[in-house]
């Protein structure tokens, strides 16, 4: 006997109130698995929105183009020597970009 046949045989022996409980449980199991499937598949619009956000952020000026103080200039020079910061011209955007 298969699991389906065994289950059907057991269902046929249940009273109406117990059948309602079984039906409710089956609905719950189906819903739980549909939610799990939906959560595991990325939403294409969400992926597109994040891509747009990253493109926009890449063009932001992280700090003023010209350092305001001598301290800022020394700090930028130090970071450039360490390879942390570089000046960049990309997509008509000018600013500092952190490598990584």
Residues 6+ apart with CB under 8 A from 14: 22
Residue 99: pLDDT band with limits 50, 70, 90 = very low
Mean pLDDT of the chain: 77
Residue 13: pLDDT band with limits 50, 70, 90 = very high
Q: 44-85, pLDDT tens digit by residue?
A: 777 788 888 888 877 776 665 666 788 888 888 888 888 775
13 DSSP assignment: T
Rounded CA-CA distance 62/100 in Å is: 15
Cα separations in angstroms, 67 against 31, 37, 73, 96: 57, 51, 5, 11
């Amino acid at each position: 006997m298969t699991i389906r046949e065994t289950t059907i045989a057991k269902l046929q022996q249940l009273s109406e109130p117990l059948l309602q409980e079984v039906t409710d449980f089956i609905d719950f199991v189906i819903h739980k698995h549909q939610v799990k499937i939906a959560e595991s598949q990325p939403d294409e619009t969400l992926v597109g929105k994040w891509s747009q956000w990253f493109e926009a952020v890449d063009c932001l000026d992280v700090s003023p183009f010209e350092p305001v103080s001598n301290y800022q200039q020394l700090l930028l020079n130090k970071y450039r020597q360490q390879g942390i910061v570089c000046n960049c011209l990309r997509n008509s955007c000018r600013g500092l970009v952190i490598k990584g």
